[in-house]
Structure 1
Amino acid sequence: MPQTALKGTPVVGGIAYGPALWPGERPVYRPADGGAVPEAERDAEAERFAAAAATVAGRLRDRASHSNGVAAEVLSATAGLAEDRGWVGAVKKLIGKGEQAPGATIAATEEFAALFTKLGGLMAERVTDLNDVRDRVVAELLGVPEPGVPVPDTPSILVADDLAPADTAGLDPALVTALVTRLGGPTSHTAIIARQLGIPCVVAVTDLAGVAAGTAVLVDGTTGVVEIEPDQTRARSRVEESRRAALAAAAWTGPGRTADGHPVSVLANVADGTSARAATAHPVEGVGLFRTELAFLDRADEPSVDEQAALYREVIDAFDGRKVVIRTLDAGSDKPLKFVSQEHEPNPAMGVRGNRIASVHPEIRAHQLDAIGRAAETAGVTPWVMAPMIADAREAEEFAAEVRGRGLVAGVMIEIPAAAVLAPAILSKVDFVSIGTNDLTQYTMAADRMSAELAALTDPWQPAVLHLVATVARAGQDLGKPVGVCGEAAADPLLACVLVGMGITSLSSAPVAAAAVGARLAETTSDQCREAAQAALAAADPEAARTAVAAIVL
């Protein structure tokens, strides 16, 4: 690694070169002369805050309506933060004591950020989003421009401490050609949206603050190296080489198979009809993960069976009889439902979320399965349906009975280490499983996926995680049942070879990653994939695993 370089955790492969671009400064609030708000004016001040929060929420929802997939989902969730009753109530309480609206917004956010950080896990992940909402509301109150990422004049590398969904979701990949952050982890919102945009991304880069705006940087999203002021000729040569490789990969049209003809389904992750229709422009064979949360988030009441059925039909119709795997509601924790009252949980990331909501509110899951069954019947197809956060064979059997009772194909997610260990027993109860590597990695390594300090631990190349994946794949082979991967690990072309070598039968990720994954598999034999899997499992750490696998398949 060159001496003038920083090292981080690689997330999205590729090479990019350009000037460093930092986001705009957050608004600065200085309490006006006179101090406290007079008591007679406090109600008006509270109304001023409420109007500003509503304006920010409206802008975020508008952006969500013009986005799709993960971008739409996270923007909608962030808009919900701007109207969160607890946060809004805390701000108004401070205003009621005489605090000016901007100061009350900042103080209340500090309280909630401290609470979220203490809770850890997925709740800690919301701190960046909450701080972003704070800055936008304060800017609205002060009458200054909304903070965010400036539009560069030339292709640039966006560098930041961290990036909020509202910033990353609206980026133009022709102008922002790579993302580099000091914080965050491999499965953070920034990382996921970078993959959706198809641009290189490196997170958890220490000493990034020393890189001044305008400094020329070369980003290697495969190795995680960020070179500062590299040789310009060499840098442009590497970018051109990466561009040629990307163009070659983009020419791949499927179907998924290795160089010697072993079939591997290359599928898409989608969140709604819009993202499903967009996915059909990529060489995917169907949907490996249909996240259904978007229909439930930011709703004051549960969507009706008819409403849900119409939404599911949009995705089913987009793929016209091809495979569609629908995940039942994965809410709770950082994605609370407004129409469900849940008690405060000291550790919500390991609390009542996903399929566990059915233990308290079985009608929600029953209505969703009714809606999926209705959509399937009217479309004349048979979707695959899987439940998130399954821990044991009893839960898998109970869910499978509900699904099969509606004439659907039953499966479950493997994202809890206990489920991976018990894969043979669980697979004996269902028709298929899909491994969610994002949560599986976080839970296996006992590491918050948003922690920059722990980013190396939340790398899906961690040998412990790969051993669990291999255990599940082996159980699938023994029982003759499909085992897919639908986490972001499936979007890594190098790691895809390892997964196929273990016996994984399908790979589902952001549609933009499909061509690169398919092209890499098309140039790699089954024997090479198996050799790559053995090398990765024998490695002591993620970097050694990447190096060993690259020597085999590249």
Structure 2
Amino acid sequence: MAQLRGVGIGLGVAHGPVARMAAPLPAPEDTPSALGGEQERARVQEALEAVARELEQRGAQAGGAAQEVLEAQAMMAEDPTLTDEVDASLAQGKTAERAVHEAFASFRAQLEAVGGYLGERAADLDDVAQRVIARLQGVPAPGVPEPGHPFVLVAKDLAPADTALLDLDQVLALVTTEGGPTSHTAILAREKGIVAVVGSAGAAGLADGETVIVDAAAGAVTTEPTDDELTRAKNRANARAAAADAPITDGALADGTAVPLLANLGNPAGAAEAVALGAEGVGLFRTEFLFLSASSAPTVEQQRASYAELLAAFAGKKVVVRVLDAGADKPLPFLNDAHEENPALGLRGLRALRASEDILREQLTALAEADAQTRKAGSGADLWVMAPMVSTVDEAEYFTAIAREYGIRTAGVMVEVPSSALMAEQIFAHADFASIGTNDLTQYTLAADRLLGSVAGYQDPWHPAVLRLIRDVGAAGAKTGKPVGICGEAAADPLLAVVLVGLGATSLSMAPTALADVRATLLTYSLDDAQRVAEAALAATDAATAREAAHAASVSQKERMQ
């Protein structure tokens, strides 16, 4: 028996036989074309279009965050720069397969040279290239295996297209050798409620058919488990299922301290599931779905209809809407598509909206009208609106002032960069609330792109530097009487959720599938307990020891209770 370590996603546990992801297709041979340039070009065009449409269809079927990721991949398949690269290879007499291989390799090298978010997206190109080459060769694209029985899927990493449509009746758990807690694989696994351990390098040695236990709560994969260990895993899985079926209550600590548990949503279509899973409202509604893959901004009427649908679905509850967060990984042709050497540090979020204020004003108009419309119909929600990537007090003052021009009653900011965390008390002089985006706050605090595999080890919200900034925001919120929410992926980690409450968070927002685990965990701690666990994490020197210290403090707390 051995334990392989990684980063667990959620609290789930599962066991079963391993099935490994199929190896990628080999590089096509570099032989001259027998068809000629025009026929080869037609073949490439058909394959690129077919793969792009397939990715879009998979995205529409999956919905949520997966749809955004897959639509971005579809855009890659039809990128004009890529087409130019293909044409250059075809002009040299290459086959369609070889031209695609070389074009994607060249495009990949260009993105890696740029670095940052675009550098990480180079990995997504591999999946698109494999799908296009498979289409040209008339063979199935490498993907999730189908052994004919339920299995634990082991892979280097999963392409978004595969993760989005995993058959949850067959995939018992997911183990990857690469990636971190905020990788696309982890985000989609959390959204779908898949038991997962990511970044487990030792899993590369697992063989098809061997039985393993995947323990997300412990961040471990156990090989050659004993019968007793298998029984304990089954009992834990059954207990977790029973807890999920228990009556849903509002989020609270053991001493009755309320901790509202809210949902992160990227589309109104996810509202019904979120309500069914016990979301007490929405802590982050991403409005980008209205703007992405569009050549022009949506009209006020189009936006108003979507916002009204969302507000009506959460009538009487809090709904926090983030205005358009474009730039960096989400450049838009009508907003900020100019080349930037480091877009993650460029014109993004509120900076981009301030430079194109008409788009911001139209969005605020639509939100105000949707709010008035649903209130008049008796289905109104408590609308809160926040700006992304606020870096200065001046930006906070600017946004809240312009929001109030349109009658937005509660206007706040996202804290995603260290400067806003350090100036939180001054920002609260203008903002009604703050919501901490732990994904971006971690990447900017540790100077490590949150989607760049080479620095994935730095991208961990457990790092004490990140926790100290969150504590500072929590303290500023308490001093000024302003609420402080968490809407990054960190809130979905049950033990980290306890730490966040101990640091001063007044609400937590997460993927709806994470609500049950977080709700059950919070109920085992009082506010004093949460603060004690948080202090243990703060005293650590790195993310790993912070996690271990919090776990040790939580175990000692439970022992005291017994």
The residue that corresponds to 1:91 in the other structure is 86
Specify whether residues 460 and 239 from structure 1 end up closer, same or farther in structure 2 by C-alpha distance, changes over 3 A only.
farther
Tell me how far apart the structure 2 counterparts of residues 470 and 392 of structure 1 sit (CA, whole Å). Answer: 19
Helix, strand or coil at the partner of 2:276: coil
Tell me how far apart the structure 2 counterparts of residues 209 and 523 of structure 1 sit (CA, whole Å). Answer: 36
The residue that corresponds to 1:17 in the other structure is 15
The residue that corresponds to 1:217 in the other structure is 212
Tell me how far apart the structure 1 counterparts of residues 28 and 473 of structure 2 sit (CA, whole Å). Answer: 56
Tell me how far apart the structure 2 counterparts of residues 317 and 129 of structure 1 sit (CA, whole Å). Answer: 37
168, 179, 183: which one pairs with 1:184? Answer: 179
Q: Which moved more, 1:289-298 or 1:446-455?
A: 446-455
Quick check: 1:407 aligned with 2:402?
no
Q: Is the 8 A contact 1:26 1:147 kept in 2?
A: yes
The residue that corresponds to 1:486 in the other structure is 487
Alignment of 1:468-479 (within 5 A): 468-479=469-480
Q: Give percent identity, aligned residues only.
A: 46
1:30 to partner: Cα distance: 3.2
Tell me how far apart the structure 1 counterparts of residues 17 and 313 of structure 2 sit (CA, whole Å). Answer: 40
The residue that corresponds to 2:73 in the other structure is 78
Helix, strand or coil at the partner of 2:420: helix
The residue that corresponds to 2:251 in the other structure is 256
1:341 to partner: Cα distance: 5.4
1:292 to partner: Cα distance: 0.9
The residue that corresponds to 1:291 in the other structure is 286
TM-score by length of 2: 0.93
Helix, strand or coil at the partner of 2:458: coil
Tell me how far apart the structure 1 counterparts of residues 385 and 544 of structure 2 sit (CA, whole Å). Answer: 35
- The residue type equivalent to 2:23 in the other structure is E
Alignment of 1:353-364 (within 5 A): 353-364=348-359
Tell me how far apart the structure 2 counterparts of residues 309 and 89 of structure 1 sit (CA, whole Å). Answer: 39
| C-alpha distance after superposition, 1:129-181 (max 9, x if no partner) | 21111111111111111221123433321111111110101112332122211
Helix, strand or coil at the partner of 2:212: strand
Helix, strand or coil at the partner of 2:347: coil
1:513 to partner: Cα distance: 0.7
1:249 to partner: Cα distance: 4.4
1:227 to partner: Cα distance: 2.1
The residue that corresponds to 1:519 in the other structure is 520
Helix, strand or coil at the partner of 2:340: coil
Alignment of 1:167-246 (within 5 A): 167-246=162-241
Alignment of 1:298-317 (within 5 A): 298-317=293-312
Specify whether residues 126 and 191 from structure 1 end up closer, same or farther in structure 2 by C-alpha distance, changes over 3 A only.
same
Tell me how far apart the structure 1 counterparts of residues 223 and 39 of structure 2 sit (CA, whole Å). Answer: 51
Specify whether residues 222 and 436 from structure 1 end up closer, same or farther in structure 2 by C-alpha distance, changes over 3 A only.
same
Q: Which moved more, 1:393-402 or 1:58-67?
A: 58-67
Specify whether residues 14 and 522 from structure 1 end up closer, same or farther in structure 2 by C-alpha distance, changes over 3 A only.
same
1:359 to partner: Cα distance: 3.6
Q: Which moved more, 1:266-275 or 1:60-69?
A: 60-69
Tell me how far apart the structure 2 counterparts of residues 37 and 367 of structure 1 sit (CA, whole Å). Answer: 55
Which 5+ residue runs of structure 2 have no aligned equivalent?
A: none
1:59 to partner: Cα distance: 1.1
| C-alpha distance after superposition, 1:511-543 (max 9, x if no partner) | 011111111112211111111111111122333
| C-alpha distance after superposition, 1:472-507 (max 9, x if no partner) | 111000000010000111111111111111211110
Tell me how far apart the structure 1 counterparts of residues 112 and 7 of structure 2 sit (CA, whole Å). Answer: 22
Q: Is the 8 A contact 1:152 1:175 kept in 2?
A: no
Q: Is the 8 A contact 2:30 2:98 kept in 1?
A: no
Specify whether residues 37 and 492 from structure 1 end up closer, same or farther in structure 2 by C-alpha distance, changes over 3 A only.
same
Q: Is the 8 A contact 1:251 1:515 kept in 2?
A: no
Tell me how far apart the structure 1 counterparts of residues 105 and 28 of structure 2 sit (CA, whole Å). Answer: 17
Which 5+ residue runs of structure 1 have no aligned equivalent?
A: none
Q: Is the 8 A contact 2:418 2:445 kept in 1?
A: yes
The residue that corresponds to 1:326 in the other structure is 321
